[in-house]
Amino acid sequence: MSEVEWPAVLKGAGVSAASFLVIFAIRTATGVSSSGALVLFALALVGFAAGGYVSATNAPCRHVFQAGVGGLLSGLATQLLVLPVRLAREDRFTLASGLVGAPLATLLAASCAIAGGYIALRRGSTTSTDPTGGNLS
């Protein structure tokens, strides 16, 4: 079982959450169109991947695992902040969209972070101290 490297995970989760919260604030403050919302959604996905990249580059071993944990944490944190705002604004929020959408958004954040961690691993941007060189096996 792999051990979680909390400093690396929290750095990546912080990058992901900060980028998402900036994008969410822009979306909330401005009435963007549907095409603008699509662009902001794509930027949020890139932000989660960037957080995974940061987690992987700062982890001493199991880089993709650390990136995934960071993505999961940032996805949970952002959903815990977004859901009350959506409830307060009554922004087309239903119980079904909250119960289905929030877990899916969290898994999407973790998936993007894993992709960012894998990119860091393949680029050789990791500082590995384990004998396998950070391989996935």
Q: For residue range 56-99, what is the model confidence (pLDDT) as tens digits?
A: 999 888 889 999 999 999 999 988 888 887 777 766 666 667 77
Tell me which residue range forms the domain holding 103.
6-123
DSSP state at residue 136: -
Tell me which residue has tokens 């009350």.
84
Q: How many CA atoms lie within 13 A of 54 on its CB side?
A: 23
Helices 6-29, 34-58: inter-axial angle, 10-degree rounding: 170
Total number of domains constituting the chain: 1
Confirm whether 132 is domain-assigned.
Answer: no
3-state secondary structure of 73: helix
Confirm whether 129 is domain-assigned.
Answer: no
* Length of the chain as a residue count: 137
DSSP state at residue 4: P
**How many other CB atoms sit within 10 Å of the CB of residue 15?**
22
pLDDT tens digits, one per residue of 5-63: 899 999 999 999 999 989 988 888 887 777 888 898 899 999 999 999 999 999 888 88
Confirm whether 10 is domain-assigned.
Answer: yes
